[in-house]
Structure 1
Amino acid sequence: MYVLVGPGAQDSRPFRTAGPCVERLAARLATAATEAQRGTLLAAFWADAERRGTPLIEEAAGKSGDRAVTFLWRGHRATGQVLLLADGLTDHDDLTGSLLDRLPGTDVWHLTYLLRAGSRGSYKLAADISPGGPPTDPRRLRQRLRALCVFADADPLNRRTIEAGWGAEDGSSYVLPGDAG
C-alpha cells in the first residue's frame, strides 16, 4: 500500500499518535473536582469541535510540517466501538487498526494520525451499537467490523462532504494545510 522510493527515502505511512486536543482534554478532566466541571469541559470540547469542524488538525509537536489529524465521534451509552474508513489510512485486511479509542468516562471517541502537510483524503465513520458489546473472538470481531462497513456514513461534524458515486452514501473529506511535496 505504501512505497519507499530511493535510498534513504522516508516511509510515508501514516501512523497513530496521541492527539494533542484529546491529551489536553484528558488533563483537564483529570483535574476536574466535580461531575459538573467534567460536564462543562466536555460541552466546551464538543462546542469547539463543532465550531472548528472535524477532523481536528493541529501542528504535530517536534515534527516540522507534519500534522496531528484527530478523527472524532460523539458516542452515547450504547456505542460499543467506532470504525474509521479512510482512503489511504484504513487497512481493509485489518479493520481493528482503524477503531477509535474511547476517552474513559466520556462520550469522546478519537483516533489521531500523524500525516504530512498537504495530505488530503476522504473518509466515513460507523458506530457499532450492537447489544452486548464487541466480540472478543478475533474472527467474529472481523466479521462484525466488515458488516459495520455497510453503515459507514459522512462525519456529522465535518462540513466538507464528497458525493459518492454508484449509489454509495456520501462521505467526508479533509485537506491539510501546506505543501505535500
Structure 2
Amino acid sequence: MTITSPALAALAGDPAALAEHLSTAGGPLVEPAPENLGSVLVTFVWLGEAERVSIRAGQLFADHLAPSHALDRLPGTDIWHRSTVVRADVTSSYQYIVDEPAAGDLIADAFEALRRQVDCWRADPFNPRRIYPQTGIIAGRLDLPEHQWDSILELPGTEPAPWFTPAGAPAGTLVQRRLTSAALGNERQVTVYRPPSGQGPFPLVVMLDGECWTRVADLPTALDNRIADGSLAPVVVAFVHTPEVADRPGARIRESTCDPALTTMLAEELPPLLAEFDVTTDPARTVLAGNSLTGLAAAFTALHRPEVYGNVLSSSGSFWWGYADHPVAAVLGGKDGEPEWLTRQYAEAPRVPVRFWLDCGVLEAGNVPWIPGVDPRAANRHFRTVLRAKGNQVDYYEAPGGHEFVSFRRNAIRGLCALLPGGQA
C-alpha cells in the first residue's frame, strides 16, 4: 500500500522524529482531506518489531464488518500504517493487534479463540485517552491492564464531553445486589447507583447490560458530573447485569430479542429489589435503557408494561431485528418473514403512554450484509417515524460515531438529561 499521508511520508525516514510527532499529536496522524469536505485523513501508525499488525477500529473503514484490518509495513522499517477518510466530528475507538494468531491457528471454540486474541491487544502508546474494551467483557476478562484497552479517537470537530473525567463533583455510591429471576430461571448482579444528594422518591433509571455501562462506559462518573452541574436530576440508576451462566452471550441474545420472560423480570421481579432505595413508582419518572439488542428489549418491555416504564432510552437499538428466514436468525433468532418486527408491533398496537429517546450512529448507515433487510440507521429512523405517527414524544439523535460504547455513553448522557432534566437544564 502506498503512503497516502503527507506527514508520514515526510517523517518515515526518521523514526525518532515520527515517534515524537505521534506523541505530540496524542495518537494517529490527522490531516486535511481536500477532496472530502468536512472530513479528515486519519493515519494509524504502530511502531515496533512484529510479524504482523492489524487494527480494530469500530466502523472507521469502508469494510467495517471485518474483525480487523491489516496494517502495511514500510520496507526496511518497523513502521506500520493504514489510512482512512473520516468525518471530522467523529468519535470512535481503535486498538492495535500485534502478532495475532493466524486464522488457521485459531481453535474451533470462538470464545477461547477470542481469549487468545486478547493477549495480542495493544492500546496506542501515544494516545492517553482510553476506554475499557467491551470485547474484554465478552471474553470474560474484567481485569485487563490499561495497555490492552481501546484508545479513543477524538477528531478536530468532536464535541467536547468532559463528563467522563472526574472533576471533583460529589460522588454517588454504588451498591451491589443479587437478583434471582423465577421468570428467566437465572441469577445476576444489579449494581445500584445512589446520587450524592437529593430527596426521594428519586427518579429511577434501569440500564440493561449493566456491566458495560459501569465498566466500559464509566457512567457513574458522568452521572456525578451532570447531577452536580444541574443538567440531570438526582437519580437512582440500577445497572442490571447480563445473567451469570456458562453461555453468557447466548443468554443475552435470547433475553434481548423480545422475550416476554425478560419483561416479567423487569416489571415484576426487579422493582421490589429496588424499593429500599426510595425510588419513584411513577412511570413518567422511570426510564428503561439499553443499547443495541437491549435497546430493542427496552422498547419491547415498554410496549407491554407502560404502567411501569414510561420512558425508553435506546442507544443504537437493534430495531432491524425480526427476520426469521435469514441466516442471521440461526444466531440472533427471528419472528417472521420480515425485518423490523417490533416496529410493526408498535404500528399495529394501540398507542402506549411512553416517551422515547432514540439515537443511532451516522457510521451505522449503509449495506450491512449480516443484518437482513434494512441497515441499523434506517431501522431507527423507521421506528422513530412510526412512534411519532402514533403520537408518542420522541427525541431522536444521530451521533457522529458508530456502534460502540465510546459513542453510546455520550448519547446515553444526552438522553438522560433530556428525559430527566435537572434544575439547570
User: Does TM, scored on the shorter chain, surpass 0.5?
Assistant: yes
| Residue in structure 2 matching 1:162, options 126, 131, 147 | 131
Residue aligning to 2:177: none
Query: Highest relative contact order (Cα 8 Å, sep 6+), 1 or 2?
Result: 1
Return the offset for 1:68. 0.7
CA contact (8 A) 1:17 1:114 kept: no
Distance 1:44 1:101, change over 3 A: same
**Partner-residue secondary structure (3-state), 2:122:** coil
- What's the TM-score, normalizing by structure 2? 0.30
Query: CA deviation digits over 1:9-36, x for unaligned, max 9?
Result: xxxxxxx98222223235xx4xxxxxxx
| Residue in structure 2 matching 1:88, options 46, 50, 59 | 59
Return the offset for 1:52. 1.5
Unaligned runs of 5+ in 2: 108-112, 159-399, 402-425
Distance 1:49 1:161, change over 3 A: same
Task: Give the whole-Å Cα distance in 2 for the aligned partners of 1:168 and 1:60.
Answer: 39
| Residue in structure 2 matching 1:99, options 46, 58, 70 | 70
Task: Give the whole-Å Cα distance in 2 for the aligned partners of 1:107 and 1:80.
Answer: 10
Task: Give the whole-Å Cα distance in 2 for the aligned partners of 1:17 and 1:107.
Answer: 15
Runs of 4+ off more than 6 Å: none
Query: CA deviation digits over 1:79-105, x for unaligned, max 9?
Result: 111110111136575446x11111111
Distance 1:156 1:115, change over 3 A: same
Unaligned runs of 5+ in 1: 1-15, 30-40
Q: What does residue range 109-120 of structure 1 map to in structure 2 within 5 Å? A: 109-120=80-91
User: In the alignment, is residue 22 of structure 1 matched against residue 8 of structure 2?
Assistant: yes
Q: Which moved more, 1:64-73 or 1:147-156?
A: 147-156
Distance 1:157 1:45, change over 3 A: same
User: In the alignment, is residue 56 of structure 1 matched against residue 29 of structure 2?
Assistant: yes
Query: Is the helix fraction higher in 1 or 2?
Result: 2
**Partner-residue secondary structure (3-state), 2:157:** coil
Return the offset for 1:63. 2.4
- What's the TM-score, normalizing by structure 1? 0.64
Residue aligning to 2:122: 153
Q: What does residue range 132-143 of structure 1 map to in structure 2 within 5 Å? A: 140=104, 143=106
Q: Kindly, what percent of the aligned residue pairs are identical?
A: 34
Residue aligning to 1:9: none
Residue aligning to 2:40: 67
**Partner-residue secondary structure (3-state), 1:47:** helix
Task: Give the whole-Å Cα distance in 1 for the aligned partners of 2:126 and 2:57.
Answer: 16
Aligned residues: 141
